[in-house]
Amino acid sequence: MADNSGVTHSYTSQVINLPIEKVYDFVTVPTNWIKLQLGTWKVHGPGGEDDMEAVTRSMKPGEHFLEYMRVPNRFDFVGDWEVTVAERPHKWGFISRAWHGTSLPTVIEAIYTLEKIDDNTTRWSRHRTNTLRPGMQHSVDFLADKNDLEDEYQRIVKAYMEKGEPRETPHNPTEPHPRGWLDTLPVDKC
């Protein structure tokens, strides 16, 4: 959904048949995203490729992580994210601080909201806001007005958490780039 200010929104939601704490502890740990076999193929902290401490646990406000994302024929870049909110087990969010490789025209913010339906059922909602950066155009915004990646992400998280099933056909069956690739990419601060 777009408005006249150059801002787009995506709202998605999924009911997961697990306790709220278990869902929160999975979706707020970036290394878990790799297990889903979607576009994320590597994550680490700001200290380099061996900086794994923060990304293997629920991250806290102010902490940064780098997410390597690739979906063939669609995008291939690294996002530098900062956690903006962490209110266990109900809310977690992050915002883009820089793009490595492809320079996206937007600042992206994602907020996860978790609602306890009962002891073993949780509604997990995602609200993504893309804010057009000054002087940029939406022509490169691979997420503008699309929910397909968001919907797929939530469906796969549900399947993985409830049944241990990742995406059937991984987007990246092997790492698409060698160690050190990040150092070769231009950086664009948001």
49-76 tens-digit pLDDT: 999 999 999 999 999 999 999 988 888 9
**Range scoring the smallest mean pLDDT among 4-8, 94-98, 116-120:** 4-8
Kindly give, in sequence order, each residue whose CB lies less than 8 Å from that of residue 28, ignoring residues fewer than 6 positions away: 58, 59, 86, 88, 92, 112
CA 139 from chain center: how many Å? 21
Cβ–Cβ < 8 Å for 26, 166 = no
pTM of the complete model:
0.91
Domain ranges of the chain: 7-189
- 147 or 190: whose pLDDT is higher? 190
Q: Which CATH architecture has domain 7-189?
A: 2-Layer Sandwich (3.30)
pLDDT digits (tens, 9 = 90+) for 121-145: 999 999 999 898 888 776 544 554 4
Strands (E), the chain: 7-16, 40-44, 64-71, 75-87, 91-100, 106-118, 121-132, 187-189
Predicted confidence at residue 4, as pLDDT, reads 54
